[in-house]
């Protein structure tokens, strides 16, 4: 599949129609999603009607938007008008249909994108594998016997498989970055508060972010640009909003969009290399080497409280999620997946003193991060400790010891979420690797533009690249 920018350009030039693009995408879904199980609902009739309206507007000479006719899909925790928001659960399945789209969904549709449907996820976004007891397991397009990651696994897998050009996910502790890593696509977790979360079902209000997946950096940047802006429906959105992040130079990529000259890059050590597989370390080191070759200064750096920050993030996530779910847990606990139910109950019972201490640590950790960004412009770390593991595998090896695979895929993402930092995850697949793995490009708050431009340079040089899978 061509990327979203090229697809939309073809619609605007008359090379193809939005209807043709939509039919083609629906055909791919029909042929391949029985194997991958990315979608929980496909809006075939509605999507074709929307595409027809784009084509009619274009025929009348009206502007049709920067994503005209581009097929996209969203994690099923985003509100879509006329549909019940499931959030991967049975608990919400009998609820009323949403009356309006989530803000992020609405802004992509306003840009001309065609919404094909809603995507599978871990129940209530509380997991890293997208093995859902209610809606099935999502397969990794590079090998359907392996996990796609989570909790936005359906979103990453649908893009990796070419079923859609763009998708939306959410990230609380790594739920965009982990599936982007395991499925080999680009993913953006923005600064906490940058993009509106209105209409997206929450897991942990003080950590949740929404963001896009794409097969190219320029698509990622454009989707991010289009979703920005103040939103009165999102009371926690930060006051800072930025436009102009989408660099027109990214649209052509006829030359490197950025030189590394003068840039200071820190490669996170300690916790962020502890337990990492040889593949994860090699991928991170290949990114560092490419940036060094472009003129950047590379240095090892530390975040001393990363392990404690991860533990505190676990506590805050559990407490906020447990409190949100307490009314349902009291009356409908049997409708939850057992592992999710037990974590939510534990979170609801967490002593207030623990949560207060975790929040105090957040202030201290953010100060450490701010001090580090006085010395560097960008940080590098693996996105996951290893590549995708088989479905149903309860454990993975970490420093020679078996640990929970479901809990530890977010080993390197959780401390970064705790500080609210923006991250672009770039896919790396070295010649010796059968599967892709991701590397986090971590910027200071509100500096998504820098991370996107560095990602574009790495993509242009072929160091970071979304490689189409052969899934049959």
Residue showing tokens 């209000």: 205
Q: Are 203 and 172 in contact (CB under 8 A)?
A: yes
Distance CA 436, CA 284 (A): 12
From residue 225, how far is each of 138, 228, 247, 296, 396 by CA, in Å? 29, 6, 10, 26, 37
Neighbours of 249 (CB within 10 A): 15
Least Cα distance to 362 among 318, 321, 408, 314 occurs for 314
User: What span, in angstroms and rounded, lies between the C-alpha atoms of 355 and 204?
Assistant: 13
Task: Judge if the upstream peptide bond of residue 468 is cis by omega within 30 degrees of 0.
Answer: no
> Which residue in this structure is represented by tokens 């960008």?
378
Q: Find the catalytic residue in 17, 129, 151, 294.
A: 151
In 3-state terms, what secondary structure has residue 140?
Answer: strand
Helix axes 448-460, 217-227, angle to 10 degrees: 160
Closest CA to 466 of 260, 186, 236: 186
Of the residues 75, 89, 170, 216, only one is catalytic, namely: 75
One-letter-per-residue 3-state SS of 46-112: HHHHHHHHHHHHHHCCCCCCCCCCCEEEEECCECCCCCCCCCCCCCCCCCCCCCCCCHHHHHHHHCC
CA distances from 151 to 118, 128, 203 (A): 14, 5, 11
Residues paired with residue 145 on neighbouring β-strands, in sequence order: none
Please, where are the H alpha helices in 3-62?
4-13, 18-36, 44-59
Q: What is the DSSP letter of 390?
A: B
Q: DSSP string spanning 174-211?
A: STTHHHHHHHT-EEEEPPTTSS--TTB--S-TTT-EEE
Q: Is 151 a catalytic residue?
A: yes
Catalytic entry in 155, 175, 181, 202? 175
Q: Is 175 a catalytic residue?
A: yes
* 206 among known catalytic residues: no
Residues acting as catalytic residues? 75, 151, 175
């Amino acid at each position: 599949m061509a990327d979203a920018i090229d697809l939309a350009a073809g619609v605007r030039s008359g090379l193809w129609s939005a209807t043709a693009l939509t039919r083609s995408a629906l055909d791919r879904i029909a042929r391949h999603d029985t194997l991958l199980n990315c979608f929980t609902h496909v809006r075939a009739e509605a999507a074709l009607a929307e595409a027809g309206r784009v084509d009619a507007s274009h025929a009348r000479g009206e502007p049709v938007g920067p994503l005209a006719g581009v097929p996209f899909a969203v994690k099923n925790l985003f509100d879509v008008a006329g549909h019940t928001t499931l959030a991967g659960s049975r608990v919400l399945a009998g609820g009323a249909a949403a009356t309006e789209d989530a803000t992020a969904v609405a802004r992509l549709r306003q840009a001309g994108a065609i919404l094909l449907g809603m995507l599978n996820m871990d129940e209530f976004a509380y997991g890293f594998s997208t093995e859902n007891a209610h809606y099935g397991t999502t397969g990794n397009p590079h090998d359907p016997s392996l996990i796609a990651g989570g909790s936005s696994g359906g979103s990453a897998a649908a893009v990796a498989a070419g079923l859609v050009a763009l998708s939306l996910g959410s990230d609380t502790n790594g739920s965009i970055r982990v599936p982007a890593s395991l499925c080999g696509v680009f993913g953006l977790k923005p600064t906490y508060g940058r993009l509106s979360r209105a209409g997206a079902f929450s897991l942990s209000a003080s950590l949740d972010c929404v963001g896009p997946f794409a097969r190219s950096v320029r698509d990622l940047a454009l989707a991010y640009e289009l979703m920005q802006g103040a939103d009165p429906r999102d009371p926690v959105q930060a006051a800072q909003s930025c436009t102009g992040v989408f660099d027109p130079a990214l649209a052509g990529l006829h030359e490197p969009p950025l030189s590394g000259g003068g840039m200071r890059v820190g490669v996170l050590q300690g916790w962020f290399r502890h337990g990492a597989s040889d593949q994860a370390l090699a991928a991170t080191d290949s990114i560092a080497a490419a940036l060094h070759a472009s003129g950047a200064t590379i240095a090892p750096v530390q975040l001393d409280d990363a392990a404690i920050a991860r533990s505190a993030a676990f506590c805050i996530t559990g407490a906020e999620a447990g409190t949100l779910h307490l009314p349902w847990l009291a009356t409908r606990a049997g409708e939850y997946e057992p592992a999710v139910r037990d974590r939510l109950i534990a979170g609801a019972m967490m002593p207030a003193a623990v949560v207060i201490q975790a929040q105090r640590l957040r202030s201290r950790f953010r100060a450490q991060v701010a001090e580090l960004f006085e010395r560097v412009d960008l940080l590098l770390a693996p996105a996951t400790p290893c590549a995708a593991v088989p479905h149903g595998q309860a454990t993975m090896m970490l420093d020679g010891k078996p640990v929970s695979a479901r809990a530890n895929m977010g080993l390197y993402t959780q401390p970064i979420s705790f500080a609210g930092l923006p991250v672009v995850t770039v896919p790396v697949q070295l010649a010796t690797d059968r599967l892709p793995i991701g590397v986090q490009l971590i910027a200071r708050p509100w500096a998504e533009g820098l991370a996107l431009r560095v990602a574009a340079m790495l993509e242009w040089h072929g160091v970071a690249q979304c490689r189409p899978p052969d899934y049959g």
